[in-house]
Chains A and B, each alone.
Chain A
Amino acid sequence: MENNNTRIEKAYDLLEQFDFTELSEEEKLDILSVMTESQYNEMRKTIHDMKVVLDKDIEPLTGVNGISRYTAKSKFLRFIQYPVQLYQVAASIALILLTYFIIQKTDQNSITRVLANNDTVFVYQMDTVYTTVYDTVRIREIAAPGHLKYSKKPGNKKPKINTAPTADCNRELCPNEVGKITVLNKTNNMARDSALKGLLLSLN
Chain B
Amino acid sequence: MISFTDEQLMELFRINKDGQGDPAFDHLYNRYAKRMLNFFYYSLQNDYKKAQDFLHDLFLKIIENKARFDRSKQFQSWIYRMAYNMCKNEYRSLSIKKKYQDHVLYTEEISDTGQKIDRDLQLCIHSLEQEQRALIILRFKMNLSVKDIAGIMDCPEGTVKSRLFYATRELSRMYKLENHGK
A13 at interface by CB-CB < 8 Å: yes
Q: Is A42 touching B172 in the complex (CB atoms < 8 A)? A: yes
Stretch in A58-66, A123-131, A141-149, A177-185 touching the partner: A58-66
Interface SS majority for chain A: helix
Main secondary structure of the interface of B (DSSP, over half): helix
A-facing residues in B135-182 (Cβ within 8 Å): 136-137, 140-141, 158, 161-162, 164-166, 168-169, 171-172, 175-176
CB contacts (< 8 Å) of B60 on chain A: these are: 70-71, 73, 78
Q: Inter-chain contact count A-B, CB under 8 Å?
A: 98
A137 at the A/B interface (Cβ < 8 Å)?
Answer: no
Residues from chain A with a CB closer than 8 A to the CB of B158 are 5-6, 9
Q: How far is the CA of A42 from the CA of B168 in the complex (A)?
A: 10
Bound CA–CA A46/B37 (angstroms): 24
State the interface size on chain B (CB cutoff 8 A).
45
Q: Is A67 an interface residue, CB under 8 A from the partner? A: yes
> Nearest-CB distance from A92 to chain B (Å)?
15
Which residue of the partner chain A has the closest CB to B28? A67
The stretch of A47-55, A99-107, A191-199 that contacts the partner chain: A47-55
- Are A47 and B41 in contact (CB-based, < 8 A)? no
A102 to B52, CA, bound (A): 43
Known: A13-B161, A71-B19, A73-B56. A58 touches B48 (CB 8 A): yes
**What residues of B have a CB within 8 angstroms of the CB of A67 in the complex?**
20-21, 25-26, 29, 59
Number of interface residues of A (CB under 8 A): 36
CB neighbours of B42 from chain A (8 A): 54
Cβ of A66 and Cβ of B29 under 8 Å apart?
yes
Say whether A43 contacts B172, CB under 8 Å. Answer: yes
B117 interface contact, C-beta 8 A: yes
Q: In chain B between 33 and 53, which residues have their CB closer than 8 angstroms to a CB of chain A?
A: 33-34, 37-38, 41-42, 48, 51-52
* A58 in contact with B41 (CB, 8 Å): yes
Per the bound structure, the CA–CA distance linking A53 and B26 in Å amounts to 30
Is A60 a contact partner of B95 (Cβ separation < 8 A)?
Answer: no
Give me 8 A-to-B residue pairs in the complex whose CB atoms sit less than 8 angstroms apart, sorted by A's number. Answer: A50-B140, A53-B121, A53-B122, A67-B21, A67-B59, A68-B20, A70-B60, A71-B19
A residues within 8 Å of B by Cβ?
Answer: 5-6, 8-9, 11-13, 15, 35, 39, 42-43, 45-47, 49-51, 53-54, 57-62, 64, 66-68, 70-71, 73, 78, 85, 87
